């Protein structure tokens, strides 16, 4: 029929992990749609912005991570027609599939905050959320001796919910060591009512913010940027009041949503406003199109979007897809596991792991992960990247 047995859209953390697992299970005729020649290990971008890792160490050639035996189509998916089971590709071609794995990640909506798209990457505005702007974060942190530093957090779902505050702690610790911390006013604006939604870790983070003298603005969001005047507008959602704050350093995290072409597709979750792909939260299978699975940042799941979540989702998608291909009902379940390595200092980390119920789910039951630890920082900086490239992307871990 010319149909590919399995099509995977997106060769990031999720797409490559699933491809590797399917290949290990002996599946042939897998086609990967991925336009980029780079594969990024994004969790290290926080440390790039904090001056503790080099950007080049977070990139590998896409070709080097694609498993043997997987056909790579270097194009953008532009649309999916799940009734016809076809994908429209950039350049005009079309690809037909029997089974589809949706893993194109999410979209950074720089345009959703007036002035942000113009300001980011220039002058005093940086962001760890894109490789082109993360090195600037460190340039700005390193050069600041006094003034006001503002760290923002969008009100949409975002990847790695802890990342907007981690960089504030790394910056503050650097300024503390340089003995300029008392000359710098640090503001962290967060739309939620607490610093972290799992109270066990939220309490610890309150102490961390207090230690550095960070002004935490809860229920607050950056709603405009004026890069020329170096000012932002912060809206307090509790009172509806807005305030103009001048900055000498702005670390901005953009609003995020499903890629626009996903929002427009019949695969989008009608119950979610931002167009993420509908998926059963346990089997990760699409509720209306049984041959479609979704995972990673693009999936509409009530858990935090992280690479750690992908590590637990990929085996579930691979196993359940094999079940479906063999005429069985999906047998594996995902419980919402996610993890957020909360860097709280230049040599300390708090490892928060939890599931759909926000129940702590420690992978290391013998150590106390409710306090800041040096061994966990070493784990994040040195061990996790190795486990990612060698274990997760090859389907072994
Ligand atoms: P991605 O890895 O982003 O991959 C998506 C892929 O789809 C990309 O290769 C892209 O090129 C491709 N694509 C895009 N559009 C199309 C298209 N139209 N057609 C085909 N392909 C397309 N996670 C953690 O676990 N721990 C952390 O400490 C952590 N820290 C983070 C810090 C920062 C600053 C950031 C930005 C992220 C962090 N994350 C962290 C989150 C983690 O990186 C993501 O959750 C993870 O990469 C999601 O995997 P994914 O495959 O869904 O998306």
Could you tell me if residue 347 is inside a domain?
A: no
For residue 157, give the CATH number of its domain. Answer: 3.50.50.60
Going from the Cα of 8 to the center of ligand 1, the distance in angstroms, rounded, reads: 15
Could you tell me if residue 72 is inside a domain?
A: yes
d(CA 84, CA 322) in angstroms, rounded, equals: 21
Could you tell me if residue 132 is inside a domain?
A: yes
pLDDT in tens, 181-190: 999 999 999 9
Going from the Cα of 339 to the center of ligand 1, the distance in angstroms, rounded, reads: 15
Last residue of a domain, one of 255, 288, 305: 255
pLDDT in tens, 301-339: 999 999 999 999 999 999 999 999 999 999 999 999 999
Same domain flag for 74 and 130: no
d(CA 14, CA 332) in angstroms, rounded, equals: 17
With CA atoms as reference, report the closest residue to 141 among 178, 108, 115, 110.
178
97, pLDDT greater than 60? yes
Q: What's the Cα-to-Cα distance from 98 to each of 16, 49, 95, 322, 374, rounded to whole Å?
A: 19, 42, 10, 12, 48
Could you tell me if residue 53 is inside a domain?
A: yes
- In the chain, how many domains are there? 2
Same domain flag for 122 and 251: yes
Catalytic residue among 340, 342, 350, 351: 340
Nearest atom (ligand 1) to Cα of 307: 25
For residues 276 and 268, is the Cβ–Cβ distance under 8 A? Answer: yes
Same domain flag for 164 and 149: yes
Same domain flag for 154 and 247: yes
Query: In the 3-class helix/strand/coil scheme, how is 74-133 assigned residue by residue?
Result: CCCEEEEECCCCEEEECCCCEEEEEEEEECCCCEECHHHCCCHHHHCCCCCEECCCCCCC
131, pLDDT greater than 90? yes
pLDDT in tens, 265-286: 999 999 888 999 999 999 999 9
Same domain flag for 9 and 34: yes
Could you tell me if residue 293 is inside a domain?
A: yes
CA angle at residue 145 from 143 to 148, to 5 degrees? 100
Last residue of a domain, one of 335, 351, 371: 335
Q: Is residue 353 annotated as a catalytic residue, yes or no?
A: no
Same domain flag for 164 and 251: yes
Same domain flag for 214 and 273: no
Q: Is residue 340 annotated as a catalytic residue, yes or no?
A: yes
Pairing between strand 125-126 and 348-354?
unpaired
Same domain flag for 197 and 219: yes
Label residue 135 exposed, middle or buried (CB < 10 Å: 0-12, 13-18, 19+): middle
- Structure-token pair, residue 192: 């939620």
Same domain flag for 145 and 244: yes
Q: What is the mean pLDDT of residues 114-119?
A: 98
Angle (deg, nearest 10), helices 163-177 and 199-211:
30
Same domain flag for 83 and 157: no
With CA atoms as reference, report the closest residue to 151 among 90, 242, 84, 232.
232
For residues 75 and 93, is the Cβ–Cβ distance under 8 A? Answer: yes
The protein residue whose alpha carbon is closest to atom 30 in ligand 1 is 43
Going from the Cα of 20 to the center of ligand 1, the distance in angstroms, rounded, reads: 17
**What's residue 129's pLDDT?**
98
Output the CA torsion 258→262→268→270 (10° steps).
70
Beta bridge partners of 30: 6, 70
Q: Which domain holds residue 64?
A: 4-106+258-335
Could you tell me if residue 374 is inside a domain?
A: no
Q: What is the band of 2 on the pLDDT scale with cuts at 50, 70, 90?
A: confident
1, pLDDT greater than 90? no
pLDDT in tens, 72-92: 999 999 999 999 999 999 999
| Main-chain dihedrals φ then ψ at residue 130, nearest 5 degrees | -140, 140
Could you tell me if residue 280 is inside a domain?
A: yes
Q: Is ipTM strictly over 0.90?
A: yes
Query: In a mutational test of the pocket of ligand 1, which residue from 306, 313, 392 has the highest number of ligand atoms less than 8 Å from its CB?
Result: 306
Last residue of a domain, one of 335, 355, 388: 335
Could you tell me if residue 385 is inside a domain?
A: no
Same domain flag for 197 and 306: no
Same domain flag for 284 and 232: no
- Kindly report the average pLDDT of the chain as a whole number: 97
Catalytic residue among 8, 160, 258, 277: 160
Q: What is the mean pLDDT of residues 218-232?
A: 98
Phi-psi group of 239: left, alpha or beta (phi > 0 → left; psi -120 to 50 → alpha; rest → beta): alpha
């Amino acid at each position: 029929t010319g149909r590919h047995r399995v099509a995977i859209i997106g060769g990031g953390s999720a797409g490559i992990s699933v491809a590797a697992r399917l290949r290990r299970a002996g599946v042939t005729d897998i086609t990967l749609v991925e336009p980029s020649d780079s594969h990024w290990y994004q969790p290290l971008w926080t440390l790039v912005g904090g001056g503790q890792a080099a950007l080049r160490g977070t990139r590998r050639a896409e070709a080097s991570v694609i498993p043997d035996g997987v056909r790579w189509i270097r194009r953008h998916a532009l649309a999916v027609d799940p009734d016809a089971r076809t994908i429209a590709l950039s350049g005009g071609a079309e690809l037909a599939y029997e089974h589809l794995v949706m893993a194109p990640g999410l979209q950074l909506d720089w345009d959703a905050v007036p002035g942000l798209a113009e300001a980011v990457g220039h002058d005093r505005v940086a962001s760890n959320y894109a490789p082109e702007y993360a090195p600037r974060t460190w340039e700005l942190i390193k050069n600041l001796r006094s003034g006001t530093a503002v760290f923002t957090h969008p009100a949409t779902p975002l990847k790695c919910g802890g990342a907007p505050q981690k960089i504030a702690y790394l910056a503050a610790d650097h300024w503390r060591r340089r003995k300029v911390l008392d000359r710098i006013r640090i503001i962290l604006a967060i739309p939620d009512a607490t610093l972290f939604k799992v109270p066990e870790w939220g309490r610890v983070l309150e102490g961390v913010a207090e230690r550095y003298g960070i002004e935490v603005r809860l229920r607050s969001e950056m709603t405009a940027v004026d890069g020329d005047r170096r000012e932002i507008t912060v809206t307090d959602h509790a009172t509806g009041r807005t305030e103009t704050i001048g900055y000498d350093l702005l670390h901005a995290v953009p609003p995020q949503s499903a890629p626009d072409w996903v929002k427009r597709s019949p695969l989008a979750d009608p119950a979610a406003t931002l167009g993420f792909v509908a998926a059963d939260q346990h089997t990760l299978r699409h509720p209306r199109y049984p041959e479609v699975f979704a995972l990673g940042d693009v999936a509409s799941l009530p858990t935090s979007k992280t690479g750690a979540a992908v590590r637990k989702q990929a085996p579930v998608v691979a196993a359940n897809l094999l079940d479906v291909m063999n005429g069985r009902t999906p047998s594996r379940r995902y419980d919402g596991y996610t993890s957020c390595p909360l860097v709280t200092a230049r040599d300390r980390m708090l490892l928060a792991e939890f599931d759909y119920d926000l129940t702590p789910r420690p992978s290391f039951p013998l150590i106390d992960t409710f306090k800041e630890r040096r061994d966990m920082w070493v784990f994040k900086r040195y061990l996790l990247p190795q486990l990612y490239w060698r274990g997760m992307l090859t389907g072994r871990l």
